[in-house]
Chain A
Amino acid sequence: MEFLEKKFVTSLMHWRATGVLHVVYALSTEALLIGYLYFIGLFTIETLLPTFVTVRFSLTKFFFLLLLATFLLSLLGRFLSLSFSWNITRKSPLLWLGILWAIGILTVSLIKFPLPIIPLLIGGFLVVGYLFWQIFFEEEK
């Protein structure tokens, strides 16, 4: 067992030195990003047409796979001493795209709710969003 562990670590070191792992990392990151975009697309379709996607394809499993891949990729990035900083500012188009998408999803989701409940739900959603923003981006600063 120890021999296998040693062999595995030696191989990893060798692949890192030769640059193979960097290629794997770059390709995996790109695939993961596309995976998240697909997830957003499928989630949007599911919101517009409930059960249309989920009867054919499990979004939960897909999301779990994406999270698992993200975790493994972050481990690989740490091993390769690579990290990306999130350059999301208030002027970033990505942020505004995300906000527009969230508004669209919210509108579609709330369309049949009674009017008085809608502000409560939106308020709750914004508070949760703000807290996540604080956790992921503001604390780093």
Chain B
Amino acid sequence: MASLSSLIADDWQSRYRIFRLTLYLIIIAVTLVFMLRVFFPTLIQRFDFRAPQSSKNTILSPRSPQNTPRFNGKIESGGTLVADTTVVGDFSLINVDAALEKKSAVPETLDFTLRRGYQSFFYPTGEKISYFPYQESVYFIEGTYYALRDDILYPFVSEEAFLSRAPKDHTFTAFNATLFERYPVSETWLGFRVGSLLSNASGVFVVVSEEEVRPIGSAEIFLALGYNFADVIPVSEEELGVYKRGRIFLLGAIHPNGTLLFDQDTDAYYLIDQGTKRPLLPREGYYLDFLTQERHLHPIVVSSLTSEQSVHCTLTPNILSTALSCTTPIASLAPGFGNDFELYISSPQTALDLSTLSVSFETAKNKQNMMTILSQIKQRLLARFGGV
């Protein structure tokens, strides 16, 4: 840059050198900030109440504690807004920002509460399962298993599909060809137990109902949901073909029915069923033993103590009273037992109308997070250039 300094008059040379040094310091500072943002990103989750159906909304299902949708952003006096968002990582700080509609009253404060876990584990506890839930009569005829439902025989697509639901001795194994004369055979094939994980060349799928499987978006999402690769059943195209393929399973998806959870703090097992988590007791009804010992299923490990932990902060209005915000550390909401964050905003005294809600998660600046990012970079490089 000798040619540039030659442009400067002699009486400006010393000041030019200082300015140049300052410029370089600014560039170094910008570079450091950028690198910090790369290694320790701040993840901003958002909901726009003016566009509640937008695919850009990363805060999901705004609702009342009674599960009434609150997509319009209105919170009555004394009311609470509950919503969920999913972010993977170890975070140190959150910043909450609730922007108000122009005509909204401005509350003096809002209470904000956040807890972390799996959305399915936040379900209310349902009735315990003390019986073996698979009660159908099953017949093994000419190499195929059939379930008798409403006087119709439904064939299983494979032996493995039947065995995912019940042990082999569950069947009336005697060959009985007269059954075909007594009952018609359905053209609908039965697949695997709802909640099973299946895989073939096109990816990994989770069975969400008798008719539908959903592809899991990526290995990261699979792991973030707490699943174990050992539980994935390799299936043929024919076995997978009995299902219609639903939309992709992404971060923020809730475990489907049939998912087994294990609370490491209370040694309790739960089975997800119709929006509840139902306790499963060992030796009672045999179902837990079947899932864990015969099927060798790895339950998703949860922690009731961690899930009960929450952080609180009080949102206060900004100078223009257009939004309320607060910042609070969330290091106590440790990762490991779910990446779903359930947030509560309560307005104790004022009815208000929100336009947007955003929650920024600041990644903790520690060695582990940096190693995670470096490992992701390495994995992506290997995946891109054919190393894996």
Contacts and interface: CB of A to CB of B under 8 A. Distances in A.
Interface stretch (B261-269, B359-367, B377-385): B377-385
A22 B385 contact: no
Contact of A49 (B3, B20, B384): B384
Interface of A: 19-20, 22-23, 25-27, 29-31, 34, 48-50, 52, 56-57, 82, 84, 111
Nearest to A24: B19
B38 interface: yes
B41 to A, nearest CB: 7
A22 B10 CA distance: 12
Interface in B1-35: 1, 3-5, 7-9, 11-12, 15-16, 19-20, 23, 27, 34
B380 A30 contact: no
A70 to B, nearest CB: 16
Given A23-B12, A25-B7, A30 B23 contact: yes
Given A31-B23, A52-B380, A22 B37 contact: no
A26 B8 contact: yes
Contacts of A29: 4
A67 B41 CA distance: 28
A98 B11 CA distance: 37
Contact of A22 (B3, B9, B377): B9
Nearest to B22: A27
Contacts of A22: 7-9, 12
Interface of B: 1, 3-5, 7-9, 11-12, 15-16, 19-20, 23, 27, 34, 37-38, 41, 377, 380-381, 384-385
Nearest to B11: A19
A48 B11 contact: no
Contacts of A30: 1, 4, 20, 23
Contacts of B5: 26
Contacts of A26: 1, 4-5, 7-8, 16
Contacts of B380: 49, 52
A16 to B, nearest CB: 11
Given A26-B5, A34-B27, A48-B384, A56 B12 contact: no
Given A22-B12, A23-B16, A56-B38, A48 B4 contact: no
12 contacts: A19-B9, A19-B12, A22-B8, A22-B9, A23-B8, A27-B19, A27-B20, A30-B4, A30-B20, A30-B23, A49-B380, A56-B38
Q: Chain B's interface: helix, strand, loop or mixed, by majority?
A: helix
6 residue pairs, one from A and one from B, having the closest CB atoms: A19-B9, A26-B4, A19-B12, A22-B7, A23-B16, A49-B380
A31 B384 CA distance: 34
A25 B12 CA distance: 13
Contacts of B9: 19, 22
A30 B214 CA distance: 53
B381 A49 contact: yes
A27 B23 contact: yes
A55 to B, nearest CB: 9
Given A19-B9, A27-B19, A49-B381, 7 more contacts: A19-B12, A22-B8, A23-B8, A26-B8, A49-B384, A82-B7, A111-B385
Contacts of A111: 385
Contacts of A82: 7
Contacts of B15: 23
Contacts of A27: 16, 19-20, 23
Nearest to B42: A56
Contacts of A23: 8, 12, 15-16, 19
Contacts of B27: 31, 34
A48 B8 contact: no
Contacts of A57: 34
Contacts of A31: 23, 27
Nearest to B30: A38
Given A23-B19, A30-B23, A49-B381, A56 B37 contact: yes
B336 to A, nearest CB: 25
B317 to A, nearest CB: 31
A27 B19 CA distance: 8
Nearest to B12: A19
A29 B385 CA distance: 37
A116 B5 CA distance: 51
B369 to A, nearest CB: 15
B183 to A, nearest CB: 54
A134 B34 CA distance: 37
Contacts of B23: 27, 30-31
A64 to B, nearest CB: 18
A14 to B, nearest CB: 14
Given A34-B27, A49-B384, A84 B20 contact: no
